[in-house]
Amino acid sequence: MIERTLVMIKPDGVQRNLIGKVISIFEEKGLRVVALKKLRLTKDQAKAFYIVHKERPFYEDLTNYMSSGPIVAMVLEGESAITRVREIMGATDPKEAKEGTIRKLFGLDKEKNTVHGSDSPESAQREIAFFFSEQELLAVD
Ligand code: UDP
Ligand code: MG
């Protein structure tokens, strides 16, 4: 099934000039960019985006980090895009991520792991709407 998913290039990726490299990896795997923007989240926006993690011990540090500098948010489309993107990103902890995954290639640590990808259709729907209006989602043809 053709799906859409929300991807972020996190502050560590933008800061190290990896925007193009990360997008290229997704494009080479057949995913298409249907929406794209660079922005900086406020602390409150980061807390809202990661609200499902509000009880977790890493929530405060994560939301400080995610609001510490610019990010790139994008919507990718393709066959089974949600699970495909998760596979291409690799495990949360770069040390545990498989060879060739984005987090293995570029992740710095379990927090600064370069990319985010939605984990389910429900998350994808919520996270896409967090950043983009319907009018900003442009299919290729
Ligand atoms: N995170 C962290 N410490 C942890 C687990 C997660 O700092 O022990 C951060 C990390 O940036 C991760 C994000 O919180 O990407 C969301 O965590 P989740 O478990 O949803 O991982 P993901 O779905 O991003 O792989
Ligand atoms: Mg997650």
- Which helix (H) or strand (E) segment holds residue 82: the answer is helix 81-89
Mean of pLDDT values over 81-94 = 98
The answer, yes or no, to whether any atom of ligand 1 lies below 6 A from the CB of 130, is no
Can you give the pLDDT at residue 141? 62
* For residue 60, pLDDT beyond 90: yes
Active-site residue flag, 53: no
Can you give the pLDDT at residue 139? 79
Determine the distance separating the centroid of ligand 2 and the alpha carbon of 141, expressed in angstroms: 30
* For residue 101, pLDDT beyond 70: yes
Mean of pLDDT values over 5-18 = 99
Contact assessment for residue 107 and residue 13, using Cβ atoms and an 8 Å cutoff: no
Mean of pLDDT values over 16-44 = 98
Domains of the chain by residue range: 2-136
| Region at 109 (left for phi over 0; alpha for psi -120 to 50; beta for the rest) | beta
Question: Model's pTM, two decimal places?
Answer: 0.98
Ligand 2 ion: residues within 5 Å (CB): 119
The answer, yes or no, to whether any atom of ligand 1 lies below 6 A from the CB of 126, is no
Tokens representing 20?
């193009």
Determine the distance separating the centroid of ligand 2 and the alpha carbon of 35, expressed in angstroms: 20
CATH topology of domain 2-136: Alpha-Beta Plaits (3.30.70)
Average pLDDT over the chain reads: 97
